[in-house]
Amino acid sequence: MDSLVLNAPAKINLALQVQKLREDGFHELKMIMQSISLADKIKLSKSSEGISLSSSSNELPLDNSNLAFKAAESFFSANQVEGGVEIYLEKNIPIAAGLAGGSADAAAVMRGLYKLFELEEQTAKVKSLLAQLGSDIPYCLHGGTVYATGRGEVLEQLPELDKKHLLVVTPAVKLATPTVYKQYDNLAAESEFNFEAILKNLKFEEKVNWSLDYKNDLQPAAESLCPQIKEVEELLKESGAEFTLLSGSGPSVFAVYPLAKQAEQAAKNWPRKTDFITAAETIPSY
Binding string, 134-153, against ligand ATP, x = CB under 6 A? Answer: --x-----------------
**Helix, strand, coil share of the chain (percent; to 5):** 35, 30, 40
| 8 Å CB contact between 218 and 18 | yes
Which residues fall in the annotated binding site for ATP?
A: 94-104
Shortest approach of ligand ATP to residue 123 CB, angstroms?
21
* Distance between CA atoms of residues 30 and 14, nearest Å: 11
Judged by CB, which is closer to ligand ATP: 107, or 241? 107
Catalytic residue (one of 40, 70, 105, 136)? 136
Stretch that binds ligand ATP, among 30-38, 95-103, 207-215, 216-224 (CB under 6 A): 95-103
Shortest approach of ligand ATP to residue 206 CB, angstroms?
29
CA 247 to chain centre: 8
Q: Is 129 helix (H, G, I), strand (E, B) or coil?
A: helix
Residue from 12, 34, 101, 116 that binds ligand ATP (CB under 6 A)?
A: 101
Does 11 participate in catalysis according to the annotation?
Answer: yes
List Cβ neighbours of 178 (8 Å cut-off, separation of 6 or more).
none
Secondary structure element (H or E) that encloses residue 5, with its range:
strand 3-21
Binding string, 238-277, against ligand ATP, x = CB under 6 A? Answer: ----------xx----------------------------
